[in-house]
Amino acid sequence: MKKRYRERTLLKGLMVVLLCLACLTGCQDKDTGLKAYESHFEDTKKLYISSENKGMAAELGVISPEQATDLSFSANVKAALTINDDTDKVLLSYHAFDKVYPASITKVMTALLTMEYADFEEEVTLSHNITFDEGNVVRSMLKKGDTVTVEGLYNALLVSSDNDCAVILAEHIAGSVDSFADMMNKRALELGATSTHFVNANGLHNENHYTTAYDLYLIFREAMKHDRFLSTISQKDYTLEYANASGYGLEEYKISTNAYFNNTYPIPTGIDIVGGKTGTTSAAKSCLILYTKNKQEETVITVVLGAETKSLLYHTMSDLIVME
């Protein structure tokens, strides 16, 4: 993926960072419970004035509070955002700073930390069965005693959105889901995602697990810097290989949750869909973050959150990814 790392002065980079972070919280209502800009100002300032991060904010699409909600946009969704990643132009912003539930788009952060901290060739043997309080949770067939590689867990996490694989990765990397959530929140703040709070690695609903469309853009954009992430989210299917407690090899075939990849919804003419991450819960509704290339071969990141139906989600997404 072609990336532009433009030279910026330290002063200009810092000024844009401060504007960006102010925008993230400037339009929030005081009773939303989102973290205030002031509480993270000093830590974030130190991060962005460090030598390795000079000019980082100059590469981001920045939205002012006044630009956060395009009132001319009409769709039954909670939030939407489209940014040309080559020009940093914000093509559409609709409630971009509003508190929303991310559902399984959470797994983008889980994937990012896995890429940053885990050895993909390492084998993980499950010490216990992964269970969930709610029913109909998407999961793999892995059980106590099975052995699987980090690479296998990572692919199942992103391709078929297996919730148990997120838990297994979290416990493998941090020792517990709670400790991993602490890592997720720390990394979010480092990326400027100050209106985000995670409590789990998979996005299953929790009132204290929330984010914004803009924060998801920041997290997704960071993950896109890894070739492994781009290749994985572009997969239409995947075969998870593992061994049971007796050492017998097993396979489980996985299909992408991205409906564009299974011909359920047509891809707009002239658009190349590289991949993305879906998310669905009863509270979050239907959600999708997508990485595409337009007719000019420019890269575009689009987020649609809280669509009432899957059909509405993909129709809205199709309308947005053709914007120029």
| Residues designated as active site | 104, 107, 161
> Residue 186, SS3?
helix
Q: Rounded to an integer, what is the distance from CA 57 to the centroid of its chain?
A: 19
> Residue 306, SS3?
strand
* 130 contacts 57 by C-beta, under 8 angstroms: no
Q: Which residues pair with 92 in a beta bridge?
A: 82
Amino acid at 21: L
Count of C-beta atoms within a 10 Å radius of residue 241 = 13
> Residue 293, SS3?
strand
- How would you classify the pairing of strands 79-84 and 249-255? unpaired
Cα separation of 296 and 275, whole Å? 18
Alpha-carbon distances of 263 from 68, 181, 242, 252, rounded to whole Å: 33, 35, 29, 22
Amino acid at 306: G
